[in-house]
Structure 1
Amino acid sequence: MSVLIRFSQKRRVFRRVTEKPKADPPSAFLACMARVAGQAGKIQETLMPYYINHFTCSAAAWPKDRDGEIAAWTDMVGDASELVEGESPVKFTGWISNTEGYVLLEAASKAEVIGICAQFWPLFHNDIMEIVPTAEAGPAILAGAKRGWERRR
């Protein structure tokens, strides 16, 4: 089975229409992006921004007893897994320590992303950022740098 990946200045992503790819733990960010883009089959083109959420545990909000904490972890991990495996904007979740991690989302708006992340509040603090592809950001950065140097002359 081949994988089609195409990102352009308009953040085009090709997504499968015939069937959803099976959820498997990606070994790298590119594997995640390949899964997001879809696999061979009938495709449709969609324009969706990407967001990355850096989440951290809010220790003060967690239960103080052992059973409560274990139950909260069980619920949080289960809910996050369901979002990745289901038909949601969440495309990837990963942990960088036992108290923080990242979520990659493909959503129509930041408000939609905020709504998803709010499900995990107050146990987690969320720092949500839109990812701008290099094809779009690069020219803007270069133009801004040139304007900055022109002002210094």
Structure 2
Amino acid sequence: MNRKPLPRRPAPYQDELLSSWIARLADANFCSVPELCQYLETGQERPPETQSDLAGIEIDGFCATLRLPPLQLGSMLLQRRAEFAVECISWSDFQHCPACTHKVSGISLRHWRYAWSLQCEVCGSELSPVRRDPAAFVHLPTRLRTPRQKGSEMAEAR
């Protein structure tokens, strides 16, 4: 199927993840991320993050729709290495640069996912942990929630 290039295309930032950029593209084109992923024929409702997520996608058409050079596509994806015993790249955002996210809301850069990254490679600021919803502990598994509750009960008894 021939897809037309997207009418609005904010330029990707240095080291931006493809998933972050696609979310910004969806916002710029007044649609949701799942709708844009369906239009791009990714076969899933979330944007690709790794090379294996692009399996089954016609890369030339995908890049033409995004108006993105195919060589730049690889630099926007996470490279996972199966030969390493320890996973050093996070599957989700666990840290961010407060300065960069203040400038561009919702941006996610590739190096923020690396376990060894301590400073932002763009502005040099120290990376901060991503703040989760304060009510997130409600969704803890029972095995983790029970010791937490017992510990707080013991602390109150003192």
TM-score normalized with structure 1 length: 0.32
Q: Which has the higher strand share?
A: 1
Q: Which has the higher contact order (CA 8 A, sep 6+)?
A: 1
